[in-house]
Amino acid sequence: MINKYLITSLTFFLVTIAGFVIYLNSETPIPVLYSPEGPIRELPTNVPEMHRPENIPCIYSLWKNNNESCGTSENIFEEKKPTSGYFSLIFGTFSNNEDAKIHIKKLKLNSFLKDRIIEIKEIQATTKKIQIESGDTLSRIAKRYSLKVKTIIDDNNIVNPNNIRIGQYLYIPGDPIKYRIITTNIETRIKAQDICNNLLNLNFRCQVLTQR
């Protein structure tokens, strides 16, 4: 019984050794097994060749991760035009918004302005800094600048009007809020001046400014 067991074990050992020797003498590489960290994915086969899409150079450049400049041909995104070096026109400045709107309607009656964007730019009110001189009183200052005494008192937090002194600074209202009518981004001075000349001939006001 023992001899039968030994014979079986020896036979298995010899077969294993013989197989290992045969494997080492063959050209088949020894496989290396790695423990996968995620799900096993098969590589795609017969992948079609990548071709450049038409009319989208920007996306293709990013897709291929190459150094091709974006925008060498037709861009799919509209580029923002620079405004520096262009020209603006001022059509007048008004003390209230309603008068400015009425004037825009009159301007739009001219065919050469129908397609232009005309806007109202709000100019904020300003203040002036004045210095009290010898002989000044709040009443005299108010009369000089066409103001009310109460306005000067409120704007400067004056507790006792009789305690003002020579050399003291006061703040008074300057220019009130105004509404200026403009159009911007005219490409050339010649074109801007041509529009102005047409308006001046029609008794409109117009001024050309260079955008910076």
Q: Amino acid identity, residue 8?
A: T
The predicted-structure confidence for 55-93, as pLDDT tens digits, reads as follows 544 444 444 444 544 444 444 344 455 566 899 999 999
Q: Which range is most confident: 21-35, 67-81, 100-114?
A: 100-114
pLDDT at 22: 65
Per domain, the residue ranges of the chain are 54-80, 87-124+180-210, 127-173
CA 169/CA 173 separation, integer angstroms: 13
**Which backbone phi and psi does 26 adopt, to 5 degrees?**
-90, 170
pLDDT at 114: 87
**Which backbone phi and psi does 119 adopt, to 5 degrees?**
-125, 165
3-state secondary structure of 137: coil
The C-alpha R_g of the chain, in whole angstroms, comes to: 44
**Which backbone phi and psi does 185 adopt, to 5 degrees?**
60, 45
The predicted-structure confidence for 148-201, as pLDDT tens digits, reads as follows 999 999 999 999 988 899 999 999 999 899 999 999 999 999 999 999 999 999
Supply the CATH classification number for the domain 127-173: 3.10.350.10
pLDDT at 11: 73
Cβ neighbours around 11 below 10 Å, total: 10
CA 26/CA 185 separation, integer angstroms: 80
CA 121/CA 136 separation, integer angstroms: 38
pLDDT at 78: 43
What percentage of the chain exceeds 70 in pLDDT? 64
87-124+180-210 has CATH 3.30.70 classification: yes
Q: pTM score > 0.85 for this model?
A: no
pLDDT at 51: 61
* Over residues 46-59, mean pLDDT: 56
Of 106, 120, 128, 112, the C-alpha closest to 192 is: 112
* Over residues 88-113, mean pLDDT: 94
CA 98/CA 194 separation, integer angstroms: 28
CB 81 within 8 A of CB 174: no
pLDDT at 120: 95
pLDDT at 16: 72
CA 111/CA 161 separation, integer angstroms: 58
pLDDT at 173: 92
CA 51/CA 56 separation, integer angstroms: 12
